[in-house]
Structure 1
Protein backbone atom coordinates (compact mmCIF):
# COMPACT_ATOMS: atom_id res chain seq x y z
CA UNK A 1 0.00 0.00 0.00
CA UNK A 2 1.60 3.26 -1.14
CA UNK A 3 1.33 6.16 1.27
CA UNK A 4 1.05 9.71 0.05
CA UNK A 5 3.52 11.98 1.85
CA UNK A 6 2.77 15.63 2.43
CA UNK A 7 5.22 18.33 1.42
CA UNK A 8 6.01 18.82 5.11
CA UNK A 9 6.94 15.15 5.58
CA UNK A 10 9.11 15.18 2.45
CA UNK A 11 10.80 18.41 3.61
CA UNK A 12 11.46 17.05 7.12
CA UNK A 13 12.95 13.83 5.75
CA UNK A 14 15.27 15.81 3.45
CA UNK A 15 16.85 17.79 6.31
CA UNK A 16 20.49 17.07 7.09
CA UNK A 17 21.74 16.33 10.59
CA UNK A 18 23.08 19.88 10.89
CA UNK A 19 19.74 21.36 9.84
CA UNK A 20 17.83 19.26 12.36
CA UNK A 21 20.36 20.18 15.05
CA UNK A 22 20.10 23.90 14.26
CA UNK A 23 16.30 23.72 14.34
CA UNK A 24 16.29 21.97 17.71
CA UNK A 25 18.84 24.43 19.17
CA UNK A 26 16.80 27.40 17.92
CA UNK A 27 13.62 25.83 19.28
CA UNK A 28 15.27 25.26 22.65
CA UNK A 29 16.78 28.73 22.89
CA UNK A 30 13.44 30.28 22.00
CA UNK A 31 11.64 28.70 24.94
CA UNK A 32 10.68 29.83 28.43
CA UNK A 33 12.46 26.79 29.80
CA UNK A 34 15.76 28.10 28.41
CA UNK A 35 15.15 31.67 29.66
CA UNK A 36 14.30 30.45 33.16
CA UNK A 37 17.23 28.02 33.30
CA UNK A 38 19.66 30.66 32.08
CA UNK A 39 18.32 33.20 34.58
CA UNK A 40 18.76 30.72 37.44
CA UNK A 41 22.31 29.91 36.31
CA UNK A 42 23.23 33.62 36.04
CA UNK A 43 21.80 34.39 39.47
CA UNK A 44 23.63 31.38 40.92
CA UNK A 45 26.89 32.43 39.20
CA UNK A 46 26.61 36.00 40.47
CA UNK A 47 25.52 34.95 43.94
CA UNK A 48 28.36 32.47 44.40
CA UNK A 49 30.89 35.02 43.20
CA UNK A 50 29.58 37.83 45.39
CA UNK A 51 29.33 35.87 48.64
CA UNK A 52 32.13 33.38 48.10
CA UNK A 53 34.65 34.07 50.85
CA UNK A 54 37.34 31.68 49.70
CA UNK A 55 37.33 31.53 45.90
CA UNK A 56 36.01 34.03 43.36
CA UNK A 57 36.45 32.57 39.87
CA UNK A 58 34.73 35.60 38.30
CA UNK A 59 34.77 38.63 40.58
CA UNK A 60 32.54 41.65 39.99
CA UNK A 61 31.98 42.99 37.18
CA UNK A 62 31.73 39.35 36.03
CA UNK A 63 33.98 39.57 32.97
CA UNK A 64 34.03 35.78 32.50
CA UNK A 65 30.21 35.67 32.59
CA UNK A 66 30.16 38.43 29.98
CA UNK A 67 32.57 36.40 27.83
CA UNK A 68 30.33 33.31 28.17
CA UNK A 69 27.30 35.36 27.05
CA UNK A 70 29.22 36.83 24.12
CA UNK A 71 30.32 33.37 23.01
CA UNK A 72 26.80 32.05 23.39
CA UNK A 73 25.44 34.94 21.31
CA UNK A 74 28.13 34.48 18.65
CA UNK A 75 27.02 30.88 18.12
CA UNK A 76 23.31 31.32 18.77
CA UNK A 77 22.71 34.10 16.24
CA UNK A 78 23.86 32.22 13.11
CA UNK A 79 22.17 29.00 14.28
CA UNK A 80 18.88 30.83 14.79
CA UNK A 81 19.28 32.56 11.41
CA UNK A 82 19.82 29.18 9.72
CA UNK A 83 16.63 27.92 11.31
CA UNK A 84 14.75 31.05 10.24
CA UNK A 85 16.01 30.64 6.67
CA UNK A 86 14.70 27.07 6.64
CA UNK A 87 11.39 28.31 8.05
CA UNK A 88 11.20 30.85 5.22
CA UNK A 89 11.88 28.06 2.73
CA UNK A 90 9.17 25.89 4.34
CA UNK A 91 6.75 28.83 4.17
CA UNK A 92 7.58 29.35 0.48
CA UNK A 93 7.04 25.65 -0.26
CA UNK A 94 3.75 25.67 1.66
CA UNK A 95 2.60 28.78 -0.18
CA UNK A 96 3.42 27.09 -3.50
CA UNK A 97 1.53 23.95 -2.44
CA UNK A 98 -1.45 26.08 -1.38
CA UNK A 99 -1.33 27.90 -4.72
CA UNK A 100 -1.35 24.58 -6.61
CA UNK A 101 -4.29 23.38 -4.50
CA UNK A 102 -6.16 26.60 -5.26
CA UNK A 103 -5.51 26.22 -8.99
CA UNK A 104 -6.81 22.64 -8.94
CA UNK A 105 -9.86 23.70 -6.92
CA UNK A 106 -10.54 26.51 -9.39
CA UNK A 107 -10.39 24.07 -12.31
CA UNK A 108 -12.80 21.70 -10.55
CA UNK A 109 -15.20 24.54 -9.76
CA UNK A 110 -15.10 25.73 -13.38
CA UNK A 111 -15.80 22.18 -14.61
CA UNK A 112 -18.70 21.82 -12.18
CA UNK A 113 -20.06 25.20 -13.27
CA UNK A 114 -20.02 24.05 -16.90
CA UNK A 115 -21.83 20.83 -15.98
CA UNK A 116 -24.45 22.73 -13.95
CA UNK A 117 -24.96 25.23 -16.77
CA UNK A 118 -25.41 22.40 -19.26
CA UNK A 119 -27.94 20.70 -16.98
CA UNK A 120 -29.80 23.98 -16.56
CA UNK A 121 -29.96 24.49 -20.33
CA UNK A 122 -31.19 20.91 -20.81
CA UNK A 123 -33.91 21.44 -18.19
CA UNK A 124 -34.99 24.68 -19.83
CA UNK A 125 -35.08 22.97 -23.24
CA UNK A 126 -37.30 20.21 -21.80
CA UNK A 127 -39.62 22.77 -20.22
CA UNK A 128 -39.90 24.63 -23.52
CA UNK A 129 -40.59 21.31 -25.30
CA UNK A 130 -43.30 20.46 -22.80
CA UNK A 131 -44.86 23.91 -23.15
CA UNK A 132 -44.80 23.61 -26.94
CA UNK A 133 -46.55 20.21 -26.71
CA UNK A 134 -49.11 21.67 -24.34
CA UNK A 135 -49.71 24.58 -26.78
CA UNK A 136 -50.12 22.16 -29.68
CA UNK A 137 -52.48 19.95 -27.67
CA UNK A 138 -54.49 23.00 -26.60
CA UNK A 139 -54.67 24.27 -30.22
CA UNK A 140 -55.78 20.85 -31.49
CA UNK A 141 -58.46 20.51 -28.86
CA UNK A 142 -60.15 23.80 -29.92
Structure 2
Protein backbone atom coordinates (compact mmCIF):
# COMPACT_ATOMS: atom_id res chain seq x y z
CA UNK A 1 0.00 0.00 0.00
CA UNK A 2 1.24 3.51 -0.83
CA UNK A 3 2.05 5.96 1.91
CA UNK A 4 -0.32 8.96 2.06
CA UNK A 5 2.42 11.30 0.87
CA UNK A 6 3.15 9.06 -2.09
CA UNK A 7 -0.57 8.86 -2.94
CA UNK A 8 -0.91 12.65 -2.81
CA UNK A 9 2.10 12.92 -5.10
CA UNK A 10 0.58 10.42 -7.52
CA UNK A 11 -2.76 12.24 -7.48
CA UNK A 12 -1.03 15.59 -7.97
CA UNK A 13 0.89 14.30 -10.96
CA UNK A 14 -2.05 12.43 -12.49
CA UNK A 15 -4.84 14.97 -11.88
CA UNK A 16 -3.08 18.33 -11.71
CA UNK A 17 0.00 17.46 -13.74
CA UNK A 18 2.33 19.06 -11.20
CA UNK A 19 4.68 17.69 -8.55
CA UNK A 20 3.54 17.50 -4.92
CA UNK A 21 6.15 20.11 -3.93
CA UNK A 22 4.47 22.69 -6.20
CA UNK A 23 1.00 22.32 -4.66
CA UNK A 24 -0.83 25.15 -2.89
CA UNK A 25 -2.27 24.46 0.58
CA UNK A 26 -5.78 24.39 -0.96
CA UNK A 27 -4.70 21.81 -3.53
CA UNK A 28 -3.10 19.67 -0.83
CA UNK A 29 -6.35 19.74 1.20
CA UNK A 30 -8.39 18.80 -1.88
CA UNK A 31 -6.07 15.94 -2.85
CA UNK A 32 -5.95 14.72 0.76
CA UNK A 33 -9.77 14.70 0.79
CA UNK A 34 -9.86 12.79 -2.51
CA UNK A 35 -7.24 10.32 -1.30
CA UNK A 36 -9.05 9.69 1.98
CA UNK A 37 -12.52 9.79 0.44
CA UNK A 38 -13.76 12.47 2.84
CA UNK A 39 -15.91 15.54 2.27
CA UNK A 40 -13.84 18.67 2.13
CA UNK A 41 -16.51 21.41 2.03
CA UNK A 42 -16.43 23.86 4.92
CA UNK A 43 -18.51 26.91 5.81
CA UNK A 44 -16.51 30.12 5.37
CA UNK A 45 -18.30 31.85 8.26
CA UNK A 46 -17.46 28.98 10.60
CA UNK A 47 -13.81 28.98 9.54
CA UNK A 48 -13.56 32.75 10.02
CA UNK A 49 -15.31 32.61 13.40
CA UNK A 50 -12.86 29.94 14.60
CA UNK A 51 -10.04 32.46 14.23
CA UNK A 52 -11.93 35.49 15.63
CA UNK A 53 -10.83 36.86 18.97
CA UNK A 54 -12.81 39.05 21.36
CA UNK A 55 -11.70 42.28 19.65
CA UNK A 56 -12.80 41.01 16.24
CA UNK A 57 -16.23 40.01 17.52
CA UNK A 58 -16.60 43.33 19.36
CA UNK A 59 -15.65 45.29 16.22
CA UNK A 60 -18.23 43.34 14.21
CA UNK A 61 -20.89 44.04 16.81
CA UNK A 62 -20.09 47.78 17.01
CA UNK A 63 -20.14 48.03 13.21
CA UNK A 64 -23.44 46.14 13.06
CA UNK A 65 -25.03 48.45 15.62
CA UNK A 66 -23.42 51.65 14.28
CA UNK A 67 -24.49 50.86 10.73
CA UNK A 68 -28.15 50.18 11.50
CA UNK A 69 -31.26 52.29 11.11
CA UNK A 70 -32.00 51.71 14.79
CA UNK A 71 -28.74 53.44 15.71
CA UNK A 72 -29.34 56.32 13.30
CA UNK A 73 -32.87 56.91 14.62
CA UNK A 74 -31.84 56.62 18.28
CA UNK A 75 -28.80 58.83 17.72
CA UNK A 76 -30.93 61.45 15.99
CA UNK A 77 -33.40 61.36 18.88
CA UNK A 78 -30.58 61.82 21.42
CA UNK A 79 -29.14 64.75 19.45
CA UNK A 80 -32.52 66.46 19.12
CA UNK A 81 -33.23 65.82 22.80
CA UNK A 82 -29.84 67.28 23.79
CA UNK A 83 -30.43 70.39 21.71
CA UNK A 84 -34.02 70.83 22.91
CA UNK A 85 -33.01 70.28 26.54
CA UNK A 86 -30.15 72.81 26.39
CA UNK A 87 -31.92 75.36 24.18
CA UNK A 88 -35.32 75.55 25.82
CA UNK A 89 -35.94 73.47 28.92
CA UNK A 90 -32.77 73.96 30.98
CA UNK A 91 -32.12 77.45 29.58
CA UNK A 92 -35.53 78.49 30.88
CA UNK A 93 -34.35 77.62 34.42
CA UNK A 94 -30.85 78.95 33.86
CA UNK A 95 -29.34 75.44 34.13
CA UNK A 96 -28.27 74.84 30.52
CA UNK A 97 -24.88 73.09 30.73
CA UNK A 98 -24.22 73.15 26.97
CA UNK A 99 -26.11 76.05 25.35
CA UNK A 100 -25.99 76.88 21.66
CA UNK A 101 -23.45 76.38 19.81
CA UNK A 102 -23.29 73.07 21.74
CA UNK A 103 -19.52 72.91 22.19
CA UNK A 104 -19.66 69.92 24.56
CA UNK A 105 -21.98 68.11 22.14
CA UNK A 106 -19.47 68.74 19.33
CA UNK A 107 -16.69 67.35 21.53
CA UNK A 108 -18.74 64.22 22.25
CA UNK A 109 -19.58 63.76 18.55
CA UNK A 110 -15.92 64.16 17.55
CA UNK A 111 -14.89 61.63 20.20
CA UNK A 112 -17.55 59.18 19.04
CA UNK A 113 -16.43 59.57 15.41
CA UNK A 114 -12.77 59.18 16.39
CA UNK A 115 -13.52 55.91 18.18
CA UNK A 116 -16.17 54.53 15.85
CA UNK A 117 -14.23 55.01 12.58
CA UNK A 118 -11.28 52.73 13.45
CA UNK A 119 -13.63 50.13 14.93
CA UNK A 120 -15.63 50.08 11.70
CA UNK A 121 -12.37 49.82 9.74
CA UNK A 122 -11.38 46.81 11.88
CA UNK A 123 -14.72 45.21 11.08
CA UNK A 124 -14.26 45.92 7.37
CA UNK A 125 -10.78 44.37 7.49
CA UNK A 126 -12.28 41.32 9.17
CA UNK A 127 -14.98 41.15 6.50
CA UNK A 128 -12.28 41.31 3.81
CA UNK A 129 -10.49 38.47 5.59
CA UNK A 130 -13.75 36.47 5.66
CA UNK A 131 -14.15 37.13 1.93
CA UNK A 132 -10.63 35.81 1.28
CA UNK A 133 -11.42 32.67 3.30
CA UNK A 134 -14.68 32.23 1.37
CA UNK A 135 -12.86 32.63 -1.95
CA UNK A 136 -10.26 30.07 -0.89
CA UNK A 137 -12.95 27.60 0.19
CA UNK A 138 -14.85 28.20 -3.05
CA UNK A 139 -11.66 27.45 -4.98
CA UNK A 140 -11.18 24.23 -3.02
CA UNK A 141 -14.78 23.17 -3.68
CA UNK A 142 -14.52 23.99 -7.38
CA UNK A 143 -11.18 22.21 -7.69
CA UNK A 144 -12.55 19.14 -5.89
CA UNK A 145 -15.60 19.06 -8.17
CA UNK A 146 -13.47 19.48 -11.27
CA UNK A 147 -11.05 16.75 -10.20
CA UNK A 148 -13.90 14.40 -9.28
CA UNK A 149 -15.46 14.95 -12.71
CA UNK A 150 -12.08 14.33 -14.33
CA UNK A 151 -11.67 11.10 -12.35
CA UNK A 152 -15.18 9.99 -13.38
CA UNK A 153 -14.33 10.69 -17.02
CA UNK A 154 -11.15 8.64 -16.68
CA UNK A 155 -13.09 5.74 -15.11
CA UNK A 156 -15.75 5.88 -17.81
CA UNK A 157 -13.11 6.06 -20.54
CA UNK A 158 -11.39 3.04 -19.00
CA UNK A 159 -14.66 1.12 -18.86
CA UNK A 160 -15.46 1.99 -22.48
CA UNK A 161 -11.98 0.92 -23.60
CA UNK A 162 -12.27 -2.34 -21.65
CA UNK A 163 -15.68 -2.96 -23.18
CA UNK A 164 -14.39 -2.21 -26.69
CA UNK A 165 -11.41 -4.55 -26.18
CA UNK A 166 -13.78 -7.27 -24.95
CA UNK A 167 -16.09 -6.77 -27.94
CA UNK A 168 -13.16 -6.76 -30.31
CA UNK A 169 -11.93 -10.05 -28.83
CA UNK A 170 -15.42 -11.56 -29.23
CA UNK A 171 -15.61 -10.34 -32.82
CA UNK A 172 -12.17 -11.86 -33.54
CA UNK A 173 -13.29 -15.15 -31.94
CA UNK A 174 -16.49 -15.18 -34.01
CA UNK A 175 -14.59 -14.30 -37.15
CA UNK A 176 -12.20 -17.18 -36.49
CA UNK A 177 -15.16 -19.59 -36.25
CA UNK A 178 -16.62 -18.56 -39.60
CA UNK A 179 -15.71 -20.78 -42.51
CA UNK A 180 -13.46 -19.21 -45.03
CA UNK A 181 -15.29 -18.33 -48.20
Report the TM range for the smaller structure's normalisation.
Answer: 0.7 to 0.9
Does the alignment pair 1:44 with 2:93?
A: no
1:70 corresponds in structure 2 to 110
- CA offset digits 1:6-44 (Å, max 9, x no partner): 453243133222221111111110111111100111111
- For 2:96 and 2:111, locate their aligned partners in 1 and report how far apart those are by CA, in whole Å: 21
Distance 1:10 1:133 in 2: 61
Per the TM alignment, residue 127 of structure 1 is displaced from its structure 2 partner at its CA by 4.7
Greater Cα offset, 118-127 or 12-21: 118-127
- Is 1:86 the counterpart of 2:108? The answer is no
Distance 1:90 1:117 in 2: 40
**TM-score normalised to structure 2 length:** 0.65
Q: TM (normalized to structure 1)?
A: 0.80
Between structure 1 and structure 2, the one with the greater Rg is 1
Contact 2:60-2:123 within 8 A present in 1 as well = yes
How far did residue 121 of structure 1 move? 2.6
Classify the secondary structure of the residue corresponding to 1:79.
Answer: helix
Q: How many residues align?
A: 138
Pick which of 93-102 and 122-131 moved more: 122-131
